[in-house]
Chains A and B, each alone.
Chain A
Amino acid sequence: MAVDRGTPNAEATAAERAGEPLLTVEAVDAFYGDAQALWGVTLKVGPGEVVALIGANGAGKTTTLRVISGLMRPEAGSVTMLGRRLDRLSPHEIVEAGVAQVPEGRRLFPLMTVRENLEMGAYGRQARARRRETMDDVFAMFPVLKERREQLAGTLSGGEQQMVAIGRGLMARPRLLMFDEPSLGLAPKLVRGIFETVTAIRDTGVAVLLVEQNVPQSLAICDRAFVLENGRTTLSGTGRELLANERVKTAYMGL
């Protein structure tokens, strides 16, 4: 996206200028009923970074995102954004604090138009004030959505729906955009487009937390990555380090 998106929601704070992480997930335990899903999960996302979160099915990737977005309360540990605790806030307050999500399976509002879906992305008070401007930026990034703006989202192709889902996430003008399996179910040609989009979003200054089953591509474009195994963060490093890691190669890349 070549268009300047202006300053994100929250202005840079002293903590950020000091090189501290944007988002910190610290020793989080989370449960579904009695079943523990996360055990001391710890990860950090720096400002403007792409961080990949990889792991097998059921390792806790989506659960981690649910905790960050406030859909789930952690039993222990903390989630902080530039020093501010997020883990006791409601989901809508977390969006207002600058964390948006492109959920798995897109989760568009199928009986609403493309334009209405995008408007819902900017529902928060701060984002709503700049809604028109942000929508123009999204249309610049995905011109096809501008053509289809009055079409019901449920009638779009899979690739177009994913564009709406990403655009809707950007409409919140987040400082951190979380992607949950954005390439799932898309044709290989479209998958490459998704990774290019993620990089383009990072280039506008928005940090990205990427959950993906496509491990090689994720590691290739990310700045850093964390590996989740059975609800625990077991490995972390730069994308290049993990690409060269033997365990990662055998477990996640079928090499």
Chain B
Amino acid sequence: MKRISIFLLGLVLLVFACSDEQENSSRDALDDASSGDAISGDTGQQKEDYAFIVNAAPDYKSATYSVMKISDRSVSKDKDVIFTDAVAKSYNDLIYVVNRLGADNITVLDPKKDFALVRQFSVGAGTNPQDVAVYKDKLFVSKQLSNTIEIYSTSDYSKTGGIDISKYADADGNAEPQDLLIYKDKLYLTVLRLDKNNFYAPTDKSYLLVIDPASSKIEKEIELGATNPFAGLALDAENERIFIAETGSYGANDGRIEFYSISSGFITQQIIPESEWGGDLNRIAYAKNRIFTVISDANFNTVLKSYDLVSSKMQTVYQANGFSIAGISVFDNSELYLCDRDSKKPGLRIFSVDDLGQKTTDPIDTGLPPVSLIFFKM
């Protein structure tokens, strides 16, 4: 009995020793990220925060992705090639890269295995996928040149169904669905309705659809106050609202930011028109009662602006040279990351959400200039 106990104790000690070794390995691997080497996920430690950065060459002829560790801002640059027009989302510890018109595929990567390819599948040549969202075992894909929101299984990525939105198509026959947002068992979808035969100018109206992802049924359609919600959606989970950035026609200052109340299911009275922003809405983000937008003014110069919802104060946070600010994203409700595509000094800039001060003296080099980024844990 005593011998068995000692043996079992030894076995336990051996197990713990191996675990330490694994943790050390994973720590080494994460440390290795700073040198641009393989990045692998931990097996037991608290997860670290990372940014998956979509880059594109200044001429948009080539694109890559980079990975940045938030804690020390170390970047593994240009880890691999993606398509020249791409966006990324993170769900269930996987990265979904939406490669748009020309590639028309979804590429699924596993960050825990140094972003090894899980699956790459076509969603239909020439259909121009825009966005993805995952709800349980369903992957929803919106495609600009399709009136069906396609549904794929997240286990084998086979097509399992679709949501027909053809009733929202305009005269050119396309509805132009774009952004997908999953929040509390609801799927939110923007429908742009642009005129393909008139340089994709907005038509008479655009929509926000509320969909039950479990049944794939459209529960509600909300006609927006302005058109062309191209600049996207931003979620305020604390106050249960979604901000919708509606660009309208370019150069016309006819767009606005509208507030959709999740609890009531309606657009509120409050709006912030483009005339107040001072240009076309390009991107939107939200943190701590501040709405952040990227505006392009009449001379196509891009500027990052902040609107304080409490004080109703509009501020310029960062003025760029030319049309060089691309995507913005909020990290941990405390920092705003900005993709600066300046031709001579591109990179990521970080701003404090609280005082709007820039935390970076020089942009963080991401390899090719950054276009957009998402955050994930690993």
Q: Do A and B come from one complex?
A: no
**B-side interface residues toward A, CB under 8 Å?**
none
